[in-house]
Amino acid sequence: MRTTLTLDDDVAAKLAAKARKTGRPFKQIVNETIRTGLALEARSKKLAPFKIEAAHLFRLKPGYNYDKVEELFDELDGPRRLR
């Protein structure tokens, strides 16, 4: 199918450089690049979005008194952590 396509200058330059480097026709490089982009887009839509449950990050652990931070640090790092 023939069509007119307007490419941004930077995109056209990269495609032309790849065509020169590989020795393949510009048309072939453009088609392969578009196919690759479409395949990646189709694959990425299948992935579920990454989610973090913020509520689980800040739950207080039982047995620790968070009002006495120095004692907590001493328990975790030892009483001589600053020396």
Evaluate whether residue 70 is within a structural domain.
Answer: no
What pLDDT, on a 0 to 100 scale, did the predictor assign at position 77?
76
Evaluate whether residue 37 is within a structural domain.
Answer: yes
Helix axes 9-22, 26-46, angle to 10 degrees: 110
CA distance 12 to 46: 30
Residue type, 69: V
Q: Quote the tokens at residue 59.
A: 């739950």
Evaluate whether residue 1 is within a structural domain.
Answer: no
Share of the chain above pLDDT 90, in %: 42
Evaluate whether residue 33 is within a structural domain.
Answer: yes
- Answer with the residue of higher pLDDT: 27 or 81: 27
Range of the domain at 35: 9-46
What pLDDT, on a 0 to 100 scale, did the predictor assign at position 69?
74
Indicate the number of domains in the chain. 1
Residues 6+ apart with CB under 8 A from 22: 29
Burial class (CB in 10 A: 0-12, 13-18, 19+), 15: middle
Q: How confident is the model at residue 54 (pLDDT cuts 50, 70, 90)?
A: low
The average pLDDT across 19-25 equals 97
